[in-house]
A and B are shown apart, each in its own frame.
Chain A
Amino acid sequence: MASENKFEPTNPAVKWVEDRLPIMGLIYSAVGAGYNVPRNLNYWWNFGVLAGFMMVVQIVTGIVLAMHYIPHIDLAFDSVQHIKRDVNYGWLIQAIHANGASMFFIAVYIHILRGFYFGSYKAPREILWFLGVIIYLIMMATGFMGYVLPWGQMSFWGAKVITNLFSAFDFIPIIGDGIVEWLWGGFAVDQPTLNRFYSLHYLLPFVLVGVVILHIWALHIPGSTNPLGIDAKGPHDKIPFHPYYTAKDAFGLGVFIMFFAAFVFYMPDFLGHPDNYIKANALVTPEHIVPEWYYLPFYAILRAIPDKLLGVVAMFSSILILFAMPWLDGARIRSMRFRPLSKFFFWLFVVNGLFLGYLGQIPTDQIVTMGIDALTFAQFATLFYFAYFIVIMPLVSRMETTKPVPVSIAAAVLDANKKKG
């Protein structure tokens, strides 16, 4: 079924352009009928497209917001309120952008975990995976700086806590003492900080677009993986992206937009923090300073370690360790469908991550259950987080008994249909 189609326009005008700049052929072979994809992708494969969609939504709404926003410590808060009250449909654009950040992270988290489960990071897709981790890091930086811009209480204190983390590196000779002041542009989180965060929050999304293009380019070299994790061999294993996956992604996108719209129209502040409806005040510290939900697991790891420097190192390592995954996992089979023990630990890892997220937003001395406080739980959960990568993954992937893998994708499809009758 896979086609070796090249883009061959019949319309003379299109042909004229194509002969000079084959841009339509590029699109055709990237997301059109010219890109052949395994025929057995399930709905977990939708989330890459959904993340790409969210990136576009964020850039478009963000550019409009930037036309009305004022990056000034005395005016930023009111200018966001001005957008919500006085700008035509400003309330809609602002709600889409604020909630869109969360939707972008939801899509990306599922996309990353899909990669975990189906072994998308394994050869020959290592660089594709690295680019993905870089995208995730850029997203985190962009999201953090964006959250500072409304200049509410949580914006200000979040900025203060996160930038202060870099004071852990004060042991570095010469530059160590000045890192935080350099980041702030002064001796406190103030006007220069807000201004540079605004500048970078506008810049980084376009860097992100560049890395996303590389990510898609790298994807097209080996092609998509699939739920079976075996390489597509024969022509029957693949189908053209268009119309099959354009149709499937369109349906998934529709469902996702409804989920998104439920937040935008009916609970626009659910994912935010009420303290951000209070203007930033350097003299009043909020009772609990918590980051946005998408950073909570990492915040929990940071707080779990009593030593500041080690905490910061652990927090950064918890993401950077993703770069080592292609080698930590030594399994010959990609998909966890055929690796029962790996699968078990994968779900444990997911639950542990959610638990860390929960621990990240409560005070460390709060008793969670059975008289054990959040700090102790966070330490165990952090231990498991790293053990998953450093101990469990290398050992289990090399030692477990795997299940038989189908000969080919097409054979598996026929087999499944036979069973269904």
Chain B
Amino acid sequence: MMNSIKIKGLMATIASATILFSTLSANAADTGLPHPERHDYKSAGVFGKFDLPSLQRGLQIYQEVCAACHSLDLVAFRSLADLGYNEDEIKAIAIEYEYEIIDDEGDVQFRTGIPADYFPAPFANEQMARASNFGALPPDFSTLVKAREHLSFLPWSSVYGEDYIVALMMGYEEEAPEGVEMNEGLYFNHYFAGNQIAMAPPLFEEMVEYADGTSASIEQMSYDVANFMAWASDPTMQERKEMGLKVMLFMVVFVILLYFTNKRVWKKVKKGEDIDPANL
């Protein structure tokens, strides 16, 4: 009786908490913008792995398209090993870039990049970036996918950063819908907060020639660059999930053992066999 009341109270609390959090989740995504469509990623889920061919294509898109305006300050060439490149391939990628150094005479010289270098930024500073982009600042890509990821208690009302990137790339409209007053130099996009974005539609059909021969549709390029940006934001994802699996498997076995240990330790005491009723 006593237990059943307690359980009922607890259940009522859990039920109301669930209702609260589900409305909470519905509201969390309520920004007046359409919900980005959920795509399939090899990196998703408990067993998620990096989609190496897609990441390599995404790197190509970044280098040939995005890097003209967007920096990737926190990613070093050496970490491209995650994308499946070997040491020589990484050296070959790094050598394409130039870095300023000060020589022994105090003069500025240039040297080619090495794997330990970071992707150089397209603009020397924020002012230059804004001046070249009609006053808008192209955001750095290093943590951008994570900064656009709005997780909620309900998976279907969560916004995943990769999906947002794909939706944004695909979400341009040549003509703003009727009644929308566009500011000069801005483009209409269904998924951008406020619907007016300073970035011109960056991708066009077949604008790059993929090294692996994949057909470069806008959708394919968006998907690949989203995968690449997701990796840049969370490069330890795969290591994290692989270790998580080991930890969980170990803990399941360990907790089962602890459960039976506890049960055995308590066996007599639980039943009150140690109590002498005459001595109460």
Contact = CB atoms under 8 A, between A and B. Distances in A.
Interface of A: 1, 39, 78, 81-82, 84-85, 91-92, 95, 234, 236, 239, 243-244, 247-248, 250-251, 254-255, 257-258, 261-262, 264-270, 274-275, 277-278, 287, 337, 340, 343, 347, 350-351, 354-355, 358, 361-362, 366, 368-369, 407-408, 410-411, 413-414, 417
Given A258-B252, A358-B24, A414 B262 contact: no
- Identify the 3 closest CB pairs spanning chains A and B, nearest first: A265-B244, A277-B147, A254-B255
Interface stretch (B62-70, B97-105, B268-276): B268-276
Nearest to B2: A337
Interface string B1-35: 01001100100110011001101100100000000
Contacts of A85: 74, 79, 235-236
Nearest to B243: A265
Interface string B214-256: 0000000000000000000101100111011101100110110
A354 B16 CA distance: 9
B60 to A, nearest CB: 22
B46 A254 contact: no
Nearest to A255: B255
Contacts of A337: 2, 6
Task: Find the residue from A247, A262, A264 having the highest chain B CB count within 10 A.
Answer: A247
B142 A343 contact: no
A351 B16 CA distance: 7
Given A275-B147, A355-B20, A362-B27, A254 B254 contact: yes
A365 B20 CA distance: 18
Given A254-B258, A351-B16, A269 B151 contact: yes
24 contacts: A1-B274, A85-B74, A236-B276, A243-B265, A250-B258, A251-B258, A251-B262, A254-B255, A261-B244, A265-B240, A265-B248, A266-B46, A266-B241, A270-B151, A274-B147, A274-B150, A337-B6, A347-B13, A354-B13, A358-B21, A362-B27, A366-B27, A410-B280, A417-B271
Contact of A277 (B17, B143, B243, B280): B143
A274 B146 contact: yes
A37 to B, nearest CB: 11
Contact of A81 (B142, B150, B151, B266): B142
B262 A277 contact: no
Contact of B274 (A236, A255, A366, A417): A236
A234 B280 contact: yes
Contacts of A362: 24, 27
B147 A265 contact: no
Contacts of B106: none
Contacts of B269: 1, 39, 239, 244
Contacts of A250: 258, 261-262
B244 A266 contact: yes
A261 B265 CA distance: 27
B92 to A, nearest CB: 22
Contacts of B266: 244, 247-248
B119 to A, nearest CB: 13
Contacts of A39: 269
Instruction: Decide if the interface of chain A is mainly helix, strand, loop or mixed.
Output: helix
Interface string B26-49: 010000000000000000001000
A417 B251 contact: no
A234 B74 CA distance: 66
B277 interface: yes
A168 to B, nearest CB: 29
Interface of B: 2, 5-6, 9, 12-13, 16-17, 20-21, 23-24, 27, 46, 73-74, 79, 139, 142-144, 146-151, 193, 233, 235-236, 239-241, 243-245, 247-248, 251-252, 254-255, 258-259, 261-262, 265-266, 269, 271-272, 274-277, 279-280
Nearest to B10: A347
In the complex, which of the residues A266, A366, A407, A411 has the most CB atoms of chain B within 10 Å of its own CB atom? A266
B150 A251 contact: no
Contacts of A350: 13
Given A236-B276, A244-B266, A257-B251, A91 B74 contact: no
A258 B248 contact: yes
A80 to B, nearest CB: 10
Contacts of B143: 81, 277-278
Given A250-B261, A254-B258, A274-B149, A261 B239 contact: no
Given A1-B269, A408-B280, A261 B247 contact: yes
A411 B193 CA distance: 65
Contacts of B146: 269, 274, 277
Chain B CB count within 10 A is highest, among A239, A340, A414, for A414
Given A95-B240, A265-B241, 16 more contacts: A1-B274, A81-B143, A92-B243, A244-B265, A258-B251, A264-B244, A265-B244, A265-B247, A274-B147, A354-B17, A358-B20, A368-B23, A410-B280, A414-B277, A414-B280, A417-B272
A361 B24 contact: yes
A91 B269 CA distance: 44
A248 B150 CA distance: 38
B260 to A, nearest CB: 9
A84 B262 contact: no
Nearest to A82: B74
Contacts of A366: 27
B259 A251 contact: yes
B46 A84 contact: no
B23 A358 contact: yes
Contacts of A255: 255
A254 B146 CA distance: 30
Nearest to A236: B275
Contact of A247 (B17, B23, B262): B262
A368 B23 CA distance: 9
Contacts of A239: 269
A92 B241 CA distance: 11
Contact of A269 (B16, B144, B149): B149
Contacts of B6: 337
A315 to B, nearest CB: 21
B9 A347 contact: yes
Nearest to B268: A1
A269 B74 CA distance: 19
B145 to A, nearest CB: 8
A387 to B, nearest CB: 19
